[in-house]
A and B are shown apart, each in its own frame.
Chain A
């Protein structure tokens, strides 16, 4: 301690001790908080690491491998059921089709996310028009060489991604249109937008899914009712559009009237003003809110379970009743796996949004 006392004020670039003192022990209040936080971490992190890694069973072919005192997560359970968790009941001989869809999506998405990658306009069309069509043909099949796979056999991460990606891709443009409609000077359009938004914001997603899945077929003529998954997709997309509309509206409100006036005075039309001047600024303001809505939507996809569609969480739960893999830590292991998968996607989205924000703020001179 005395050696430290002799050192004088800590340097900006200083030592580890200097950093600790500046950031964790700068005042009594700060020190108390540091101690409490450290205690909480010590309570939670080591048991979690022990369960998931150090005491975990990593190999084995049957449940016997996971039985016994003091054993942690039963990872062989996940390995053995991996295909179910990812593809649901999709026929094993056709799984290559899903893999191609995953791979193509990845290939089309990555250059989209890299700001400096060329041909953005082409990339957008590829991702939003060409890719969904290819994905639909490959997944649903019923073409020469592609036997049909009904959506009732889709499941696991595949369904999670289909629901989430559809929701994300539909909700942003539809949300923008609704937000513009809500601020329109035409009363009829404004009213319709308000009614639409407030209706969907007022009902829980569970109700929406239940209505779409159970009630809708009762109203529609026999045989005309569309596919169960499709109905849920529409429900999720409309539901998240209403939330997106309110996020976008927040951004629109931050744009000063002078921006509209300058654009209109220069002769730009309403849609040019919105598309070239107002929306690019408004959307930038609300990137965190948009990504937040995406993340919420991604996690809400788990609710499709209540209408008999098995997303990744549903598959994990369904697997728990498999007598071949009943082990005491089975539920914990399965949920931990599902949690990790969700975390990877959601954390990825939030990190990307942080990256975009930093990038957009740099070079703006503000």
Chain B
């Protein structure tokens, strides 16, 4: 397997294992995620994609019995070191969820939520952040005249872009996306995919997807996870045209769940 490496490694996993009590869900995964690249994680349902993704910003911390072994380095510091400030970590590693989940607040307040948490009070600054984030999320032109309308009044696709804008507003270095388009129609999905390609100019994107075409279209690297094992991890084109492992071949050609 090619050890993906580059000058800008944002996340480095070394022999990471994750357990839910006795259940061994992620089995010794080692891989790198590069800056300004999109890494796709594919694999059948239950293979541990969400578990792996959520371990990167410690969103699984609250689950009793969850245990992580090995080393997960984000920008040189171990995510699971006892001294890590989880709150600060999550500001640097943003997340977009499968189902759009805007707060029942205005569009403006949704985007301004993160900066306000960090103590940003200046109206001028917040206005700037809101406009910049919504523009980055390709939503500005659709909502600029109704920033104070509820975020929940938007369509599903718009809501998801609002959630992306909200995540971008805290200026993360890594954006984790767990099936960000699986609840959307093809047109809205295409918009999210375009958006991902723009986002990678600024940050590292990690996307979990069930959609092979999506992984092939947008990602630079693809990791195939099966039963918690990293079967193959390589340049996306290589994975989809000349996979080394037979199981990868079976999966991408639809001969497996």
Decide whether A and B are members of one complex: no
A-contacting residues of B (Cβ < 8 Å)? Answer: none
